[in-house]
Structure 1
Amino acid sequence: MDWDRVKIFHTVAEAGSFTHASELLNLSQSAISRQISALEESLGVPLFHRHARGLILTEQGELLRNTARDVFAKLSMAEAMLTESRERPKGPLKVTTTVAFGSVWLTPRIHGFLSLHPDVTITLLLDDSELDLGMREADIAIRMSPPRQPDLVKRKLMTIRHGIYASPDYVNRQGMPKTPAELDDHKLIVFGEDTAAPISNANWILDAGATPGKARRPILKVNNIYGIMRAVESGLGVASIPDYMVRENGNVVQVLPELEGPQSEVYFVYHEELRHSKRIAVFRDFLIREIEQSLR
């Protein structure tokens, strides 16, 4: 099996079209098509169904794509480990976490890390879905729940606690609730029903102290905690907010502090094959120090 043709096939399969693959490979579409046809001829099986709407992998194409993806992921991991300096951390580091945690807490601290380790290149992938670390979609994940895969290493970073908050402007206009039951009369901001919320029971504010038989109707539903925080800061209403966001912004006041909301654990996660990577170690240690300082 010709290795160069497999690399071209892998790019086309991931891109989904000759046009996009042509841009990525800097080759003409006709040259790519010839290489794919030659690979199919050498294997004796079709790899793509060709349609006017694009390319669809055949069953044999799916098998080769999955195998090639695994091979390239392992090669990428090997390359990173081989090129890392023995004396100092060096090389690329892809980090994924949720949009809210990455935007509010992590991104402002990257400058401090790169000042200490200028030979490390950071790529942040902010996504509320979990990327596949085994397939090298990222090197490190900062997750709001423990990993389920057995080949991933985890380290607990901190506990996130949720409370109820409003802006000073909102409290001046609407008053401060003195009991949980008084939330019935306030403008509540919650997660939408179809949202993959970062914690279970994310909309606990709808039930805390609620009058039996009287359903609370939120004034706004948002699919992201960062959006909820911004809505609260604007004075729109009251919402459950994680404590790390409050510490970073401070433009809100706590409502009914005696009410304890859900808690979640934050984990530093990476693939066990990167266990001895200096880049992983120094980034983990940096985050731990930053968390300790933020909690003082």
Structure 2
Amino acid sequence: MDWDRLRIFHAVAEAGSFTHAGERLNLSQSAISRQISSLEESVKVPLFHRHARGLILTEQGDMLFRTVKDVFHKLSMVEARLAESKDRPSGPLKVTTTTAFGSTWLTPQIKEFIHLFPDVEVSLILSDEELDLGMRQADVAIRMSPPRQPDLVQRPLMSYTTKVYGAVAYLEAKGRPGKPEELDGHDIVVFGEETPMPVKTVNWLLEAGARPETPRRPILRVNSVYGVYRAVRSGLGLASLPEFMMPEKMGLEQVLPELSGPTTQAYFVYPEELRHSKRIAVFRDFLLRKVAEMQF
């Protein structure tokens, strides 16, 4: 099998269409189509079912795709190890974490890391969906819960809790609650129910000091911690936000300082096969140092 055709086949199978694969590879749709047809002729079986809404792999196509995907994965591992053979840490480092943690804490730290290790090419992938590290969708993850994937190395990174915050303009208009029971008279923004909760007790603020006979109703639900933060910053209401977001420096004020949510553990996670990676080691040590410098 021709390697260039397999590379194009891999892109088409992942994209689900000739058009999207062509955009990714900077090739025309007709050129992509010709290469796939030539590959199908060489293996003497159809690899895709073609229909108006896109492409679906045939049984034989799926078999080939799984094999090619595995080869690409192994090649990327070899490429990473070759880059690691130099004295200085170098090469690409894809880091994934949640939108909230990445936007408010991690991104501001990256400037210093890049200055210290200019040969490491950092990419941040901020998503509340967990990427598959085993398939190298990312090299490193910072997770707000223990990883569920097998064959991953995990290192506790930090423990944090959540506190109650509101925008100064909101507090001046609605008043500052002096005790948990007074939260009944306030607008509360909580995490939405449409997606998995970061932690089971993420919406503890609805119950703090509340009376069972008069449950609190949130003014807004948002399926993103960062979205909750943005809503609170706009002056919509109060919310519990992680300490690492440092909202006191972002136009928010802490109220009811004696109140805090459950403690959550964040983890530094990477595949077992990257255990000896210099890039990952220096990034891990950098983060541990920055965490040690934090003052909650």
TM over 0.5: yes
Question: What residue in structure 1 maps to residue 175 of structure 2?
Answer: 175
Partner SS state of residue 161, structure 2: strand
1:206 Cα offset (Å): 1.0
* Worse-superposed segment, 246-255 or 161-170: 246-255
Question: What residue in structure 1 maps to residue 81 of structure 2?
Answer: 81
The 3 A distance-change label for structure 1 pair 12 and 248 is farther
Question: What residue in structure 1 maps to residue 54 of structure 2?
Answer: 54
1:85 Cα offset (Å): 4.2
1:154 Cα offset (Å): 0.8
**1:6-45 maps to which residues of 2 (within 5 A)?**
6-45=6-45
Question: What residue in structure 2 maps to residue 295 of structure 1?
Answer: 295
Partner SS state of residue 246, structure 2: helix
CA distances 1:5-53 after superposition (whole Å, capped 9, x unpaired): 2212101111211122223334343333232223223333211011122
Preserved CA contact (<8 Å) 1:145 1:265 = yes
Preserved CA contact (<8 Å) 2:17 2:54 = yes
CA distances 1:43-93 after superposition (whole Å, capped 9, x unpaired): 332110111222111122222222211221121121011122431001111
Q: Distance in 1 between matches of 2:289 and 2:55?
A: 49
Amino acid of the structure 2 residue aligned with 1:237: G
Preserved CA contact (<8 Å) 1:190 1:222 = yes
Amino acid of the structure 1 residue aligned with 2:34: R
The 3 A distance-change label for structure 1 pair 287 and 247 is farther
Question: What residue in structure 2 maps to residue 220 of structure 1?
Answer: 220
Give percent identity, aligned residues only: 65
TM-score w.r.t. the length of structure 2 is 0.94
Unaligned runs of 5+ in 2: none
Amino acid of the structure 2 residue aligned with 1:6: L
Q: Distance in 2 between matches of 1:118 and 1:252?
A: 35
Amino acid of the structure 1 residue aligned with 2:7: K
* Worse-superposed segment, 168-177 or 101-110: 168-177
Q: Distance in 1 between matches of 2:91 and 2:20?
A: 28
The 3 A distance-change label for structure 1 pair 169 and 220 is same
Question: What residue in structure 1 maps to residue 120 of structure 2?
Answer: 120
Divergent runs of 4+, >6 A: none
1:96 Cα offset (Å): 0.5
Partner SS state of residue 89, structure 2: coil
Q: Distance in 1 between matches of 2:15 and 2:157?
A: 36
Amino acid of the structure 2 residue aligned with 1:157: L
Q: Tell me how many residue pairs correspond in the alignment.
A: 296
Question: What residue in structure 2 maps to residue 165 of structure 1?
Answer: 165
The 3 A distance-change label for structure 1 pair 248 and 2 is farther
Q: Distance in 2 between matches of 1:154 and 1:203?
A: 27
Q: Distance in 1 between matches of 2:32 and 2:3?
A: 14
Question: What residue in structure 1 maps to residue 93 of structure 2?
Answer: 93
1:285 Cα offset (Å): 0.7
Q: Distance in 1 between matches of 2:234 and 2:91?
A: 41
